[in-house]
Structure 1
Amino acid sequence: MISAIIVDDELINISNLQALLVRHCKEIEVVASAINADQAKTCIQELKPDVVFLDIEMPGKNGFDLLKSFKNPEFAVVFVTAYDAYGILAVKFSALDYLLKPIDITELKNTVSRIEKSVNAKKQNLRLDNLLHLLDNKYPDENQKIALPTLKETYLVPVKDIVRCESSNNYTSFFMVSGVEHLISRPLYEYDELLVPYGFIRCHQSHLVNKAHVTSMLNEDSGYLIMNYTTQKIPIAKQRKSLVKSLLKI
Structure 2
Amino acid sequence: MRAVLIDDELAVVENLKTLLSIYFPELEIVGVAHGVHEGIACIRKHQPDLVLLDVEMQDGTGFDLLAIYGELDFQLIFVTGHNAFAIKAFKYSALDYVLKPVDPDDLVTAINKAKTITDRTEIGIKVSSLVQNQEVQNQDKKIVLKDADNVYLVALRDIVRCESDANYTQFYLVDGRRLIISKTLKEYDAMFREQLFFRAHQSHLINLMHFDRYEKKEGGTVYMKDGSALPVAVRKKDQLLAALSQL
Name the TM-score class by shorter chain: 0.7 to 0.9
CA RMSD of aligned residues (A): 2.3
- 2:209 is matched by which residue type in structure 1? A
SS at match of 2:153: strand
Q: Which of 181, 185, 190 in structure 1 is aligned with 2:182? A: 185
One-letter amino acid matched to 2:15: N
Partner Cα distance (1:99, 1:44) in 2:
20
Mapped partners of 1:32, 1:76: distance in 2: 15
Q: How many residues align?
A: 246
Structural mapping, 1:40-55, within 5 Å: 40-55=39-54
2:242 paired with 1:246? yes
Match of 1:210 among 207, 212, 237: 207
Distance 1:202 1:27, change over 3 A: farther
Q: Distance in 1 between matches of 2:50 and 2:150?
A: 19
Deviation at 1:52, TM superposition (A): 0.9
Structure 1 residues not aligned, in runs of 5+: none
Residue 164 (structure 1) shift: 0.9
Task: State the 1:155 CA deviation.
Answer: 0.7
Comparing 25-34 with 210-219, greater Cα deviation is found at 25-34
Partner of 1:103: 102
Match runs of 1:134-213 below 5 Å: 134-137=133-136, 139-142=137-140, 144-213=141-210
Q: What SS class does the counterpart of residue 198 from structure 1 fall into?
A: coil
1:141 deviates by 4.7
Instruction: Read off the aligned partner of 1:24 and give its amino acid letter.
Output: Y
Distance 1:105 1:166 in 2: 35
Q: Report the equivalent of 2:19.
A: 20
2:116 alignment counterpart: 117
**Residue 108 to residue 166, structure 1, CA distance change in 2 (3 Å):** farther
State the 1:91 CA deviation: 2.0
Query: Letter of the aligned partner of 1:246 in structure 2?
Result: A
Summarize deviations over 1:15-56 as a string: whole Å, max 9, x none.
222322333345643322222222211210011112211111
1:112 and 1:169 mapped to 2: Cα distance?
A: 28
Counterparts in 2 of 1:122 and 1:10: CA distance versus 1, 3 Å = same
Q: Which moved more, 1:181-190 or 1:8-17?
A: 181-190
Q: Say whether the 8 Å CA contact 2:6–2:54 is kept in structure 1.
A: yes
Match of 1:234 among 230, 236, 242: 230
Is the contact between residue 161 and residue 177 of structure 1 (CA under 8 Å) also seen in structure 2? yes
Instruction: Please say if residues 54 and 77 of structure 1, whose CA atoms lie closer than 8 Å, have aligned partners that are also in contact.
Output: yes
Question: Hey, what's the Cα distance between the residues in 2 that align with 1:115 and 1:195?
Answer: 26
Separation of aligned partners in 1, 2:101 and 2:164? 30
Name whichever of 85-94 and 220-229 sits farther off. Answer: 220-229
The alpha-carbon deviation at position 156 of structure 1 amounts to 0.2
Maintained 8 Å contact 1:201/1:211: yes
1:188-212 per-residue CA deviation (whole Å, 9 max, x = no partner) reads 3332243344311111233211112
Amino acid in the other structure paired with 1:64: F
TM-score of the aligned structures, taking structure 1 as reference length: 0.87
Letter in 2 for 1:140: N
Shift in Å at residue 111 of structure 1? 1.8
The answer for unaligned runs of 5 or more in structure 2 is: none
Q: Tell me if the contact between 1:222 and 1:241 (Cα under 8 Å) persists in the aligned partners.
A: no
